[in-house]
Every structure is written in structure tokens, then in C-alpha cells.
Amino acid sequence: MDQPLMPGDLIEIDRVSYKHWAVCIGNGEVAHLVALTEVGVTNPMTDTEGEVRREHLKDVCGKSFWRVNNDQGLQIKPRTAAQIVQDALSWVGETVTYNLATYNCEHFATKMRYGRAVSQQKVTLQVVDGVKKVGLLAGLVGSVAALGSAASAPSRP
């Protein structure tokens, strides 16, 4: 996508089932947090090792659609572009704990821009996790109810 990029911009990259986030550091380059091992499908809330990388945006995006997204719904004034870039660059090469719920690529990007780690994906994951738990509970209640009615139902000769 050909959008003007300014140092300090947050970049949202569409992936198949999630959004990846990066911070523009200038000259077509970004800093972004990546998980070094596959994030568990069965338990996506598990900690894994992550690393902050400096790469060209085109290499990070590949054929994925991307856009500048500096609107996080936060009522927080962004830090200066110089502060954002300096902090992002200071993290390049660092290994950090990556967790979809507590510290993912969006947490990293918003921390650089606003000085506060926030992730809307985290909210989505918590809702999905909550729905799974409600579904599990409903299934369990249904199973117990079925067992109870089967136990109290008269038997046929």
C-alpha cells in the first residue's frame, strides 16, 4: 500500500487470523515484536520467547495489506517522533517474553508511541476465552442435567 509514512506511525498489518503491529522508524523501516516460537493454538495465552526486530516494511508485510493506524481509541497524546524512534531502536535485538494476552506486537507498538502498552487484540482474546469458558460451562451443565434426567427417568421393560 502506498500511504505516506512518518516516523513514529503505528502500522497495522492484516494477517489471515490476526493483525500484526509495527512502528515506523523512518526510511521504510519498522521495529516490531515477533514470537520466536509458534504461539500455541490450544493455549494461546502461554508465554513464549519474542524478539524486537528492525526490518523493511515491505519484507514484514509481504503481500499482506497494511495501513497507518495511529487511532487506538486512547485518549493519550503520542510521544514525539524522536522519542518513539529512539525507544523502538533501543529495543532492537532484545529478547522479551511474548504472550498474546499480556505482551504482544500491539502492546510493543503502543508502548513505543504512547508510553503505555495497550492491545485491542488482548480484549478480543479475553472475550473469546470467556466465550469458550461459558460454552464449556453450558456443555457441562447440559451433560449433568442429561445425566440427572436419565437417572430419574423410568426404565422400560
Tell me the catalytic residues. Answer: 20, 32, 105
Which residue bears the cell 513464549? 48
> What is the distance between the alpha carbons of residues 109 and 24, in angstroms, rounded to a whole number?
9
Check the CA dihedral 82-83-85-90 and report its sign: positive
Distance of CA 29 to CAs 22, 64, 88, 146, Å?
10, 16, 11, 59
- Of 2, 49, 47, 54, nearest in space to 25 by CA: 54
**Three-state secondary-structure class, residue 6:** coil
CA proximity to 48, closest of 127, 124, 111, 101? 101
